[in-house]
Amino acid sequence: MAYQFDFLPVLHNADLLLRGALFTLELTAIGTLLGVSLGIVGAVVRAWQIRPFAAIFGVYVELIRNTPFLVQLFFIFFGLPSLGLQISEWQAAVLAMVINLGAYSTEIIRAGIQAIPRGQLEAAAALAMTRFEAFRHVVLLPALGKVWPALSSQIIIVMLGSAVCSQIATEELSFAANFIQSRNFRAFETYTLTTLIYLVMALLIRQLLNWLGRRYIARNR
């Protein structure tokens, strides 16, 4: 007997999917803001070899980039409580995303900072810019401009990777999908629709980041 596809039972739960998708976007937004901030700090410390933090960030970057996100998430959610640190599912999800993106963006932004000639900072000093102004206009924004496409890709990878957060019961999009298919037994239809939603979110975030880059970052190059 041929399988009859039926998407209706999934569409009946469209509100659950929508709520899940919004939560995924929320997690991604917080994770990106904090993760990229951490990455900027790490990149400066690594690029300018500020001791002893350069070595600490070096170990952090290698540890995170060479272990799976899922294991980092489990370590945070199941491991930390045994040290007496209780955190909720969504806090664990955000923490894991921040730590993960922080490591990748440290390396990405560091490459951008190192691509800026030393003379640029000296020129800024000659123009009587304060150290903060010089850092912001001569180092950070041009560096971000250079690596913006790579950074955007990494943010999208983190958003897609957050699908595994359903495993610690963070109620994001894939959690909603698991819930729906466990009720209507339409697993294939549910996951097809969910996959499409992820695809659309990835494309939208790419557009948004391109726009942000053109509007606020690259024009400073």
Partner 1 sequence: MDFTFWDILDNLLVGLQWTVALSLTAFVGGGLIGLLVMVLRISDNGFARGFARAYIELFQGTPLLMQLFMVFFGVALLGVDISPWLAAAIALTLFTSAYLAEIWRGCVESIPGGQWEASASLALNPYEQLRHVILPQALRIAVAPTVGFSVQVIKGTAVTSIIGFTELTKTGGMLANATFEPFTVYGLVALGYFGLCYPLSLSARYLERRLHAAS
Identify residues 94-153 at the interface with partner 1 (CB under 8 A). Answer: none
Interaction pattern, residues 170-209, with partner 1; x per rule: CB under 8 A: ----x--x---------xx--xx-xx--xx--xx------
- Residue with Cβ nearer partner 1 (143 or 197): 197
Q: In sequence order, what DSSP letters do the residues of 169-188 get, joined into one string?
A: T--SHHHHHHHHHHHH--HH
Distances in whole angstroms, Cα of residue 28 to Cα of each of 21, 127, 150, 156, 165: 10, 39, 17, 9, 12
Name the one range near partner 1 by CB under 8 A: 27-35, 76-84, 86-94, 209-217.
Answer: 76-84
Contact, 72 vs 64, CB < 8 A? yes
- Which of 101, 109, 125, 138 lies closest to 46, judged by CA? 109
- Residue with Cβ nearer partner 1 (138 or 209): 209
Give the one residue of 67, 88, 182, 220 binding partner 1; rule: CB under 8 A.
Answer: 67
Compute the least distance from the CB of residue 186 to partner 1, in Å: 9
Contact, 64 vs 99, CB < 8 A? yes
Three-state secondary structure call for residue 6: coil
In the complex, the residues that contact partner 1 under the rule CB under 8 A are 3, 62-63, 65-72, 74-75, 78-83, 156, 160-164, 166-167, 174, 177, 187-188, 191-192, 194-195, 198-199, 202-203
